[in-house]
Structure 1
Amino acid sequence: MTPLYVPPRYNIETQHNGTEHLAINNTFVRRILTRLALHTTAKFYSRDGLCVPISKHKIVKSGRRVHLTEAYIVMERIQGEELPKAWKSMSEESVEGVFAQLRKIFQELRALTPPPGTGVESCVGGSLYDSRIPRGNPRFGPFKTIQEFHFWLRRDLKPEDLKDREKDQDWHDLQDMMSKQDGAWPPPSFTHGDLNPFNILVRGGNVVGIIDWEFSGWYPHYWEYTSAWFGNVTRTEWQGMLDKVLDRPRPEEFKMEKVRNKWWGE
């Protein structure tokens, strides 16, 4: 019997459970000055979502989804163009070269071995985030098993909940989906979770970066492909290119996700 899943508490702290942070110049005075700047000099700059410029060289993340201890983020600035902009000026040979590089990158990512006992969870064993899953607001998980994750995805639906509907085609589809979801699964694979062309940076015909890893974590092996497919329904050209980057899941796995997205997708 699938164990009862207890979702994270609906508060900001759950977004950072299981994570660590490295404080850089984290002193009381600097925190006070940062908060002061957030309410003064920040008004002279344009805010971009959670990112608030407080000076010419400093940006602070502020908002409902930001933990109070999250003050400084140090990242490497990568020089490159988003793939959709770059491939307009690229030769067919260069485009194919980019896809070959992407395939190698994701083969290496998927070759990572999960630690013993890993379920569906973040890279540090904590909760996950995916804005495309309505039930996962603000975060969800971690789950001890892939089967527990599947049970949660379908909002705890059990086969016996569909009795007296055997004549409906939807009944057969849902029964097949649950049977597949509740079956045996290989260990989870580390997954980017939001593979779309705008998250791929290229320069000079080379992939120089893959960005936006906030959806990433340990997921069922099919999740990279199906999340990219169903998350890009308006980008049919990109859907047609996915097979160049990722191995397509087995037909029954793809159908399983198609049914789930029909009933419990965005």
Structure 2
Amino acid sequence: MEKIYTRPKSMNPRATGYCPGCLHGVATRLICELMDEFDIQENTTSVLPIGCSSMGVFHFDTDIVISLHGRAPAVATGIKRCSPDRFVYTYQGDGDLAAIGLSEIIHAANRGENITAVFVNNSIYGMTGGQMAPTTLVGQKATTAQDGRKPEREGYPMKMCEILSQLEAPVFIARCGLDTPAHINEAKKALRKGFQNQLDKKGFSFIELMSNCPTNWGMSAEKTIQWMQENTLKTFPLGVFKEKSSGDMSR
């Protein structure tokens, strides 16, 4: 019988490093599938920060650089400018990208760097113990907000697609879900667009992938999917927030 669903060759053959039920595994596989489809594995540099995203060091079979916390866009910028023919992407979480790395991602986007930024948003600090992140929902509990996030105390969840879409330079900004097969298919289409934009030298692309965190949400994997659909995706609506046509490209 012919095998249909197999491990991408761009993915290392080992057990997952992510917690059971975590959708980081889905995001990682989508990236590896696309590297295979574009045949760019040998020419790719994966830039990973500190956090659950750094687990990608076990899974992405590419050249890899681990950056300081939040600095992945700056590191990716340096690599891409020194080696413009390489495919360079960042793979970051919300505690990394939207907190300590906020300045880095905004300025990389504002410069229109020809890189692809993949942003996995699970609304909490995952690796370090479940602290409140910039994307934690109003009322959502965390170790540093045990009675739930309150706008008057911690402000509102930061919506990175909406923020970055106000900048002139980015060519593609989209938010996708990983909660259903249909949403996963849409996520892969968005990632493919972000990959193709870089290969075509069009500029900066940003793809946000809405994920879960069974461990720090304190729920079963199945329950987190339901919670995402009833709460997270209402705060963070899915869709394309910016897409420049070929006539709009600045480079």
Same fold (TM over 0.5): no
Structure with greater contact order relative to length (CA < 8 Å, sep ≥ 6): 1
Q: Which has the larger radius of gyration?
A: 1
Structure 1 length-normalised TM: 0.28
Normalising by structure 2, we get a TM-score of: 0.29
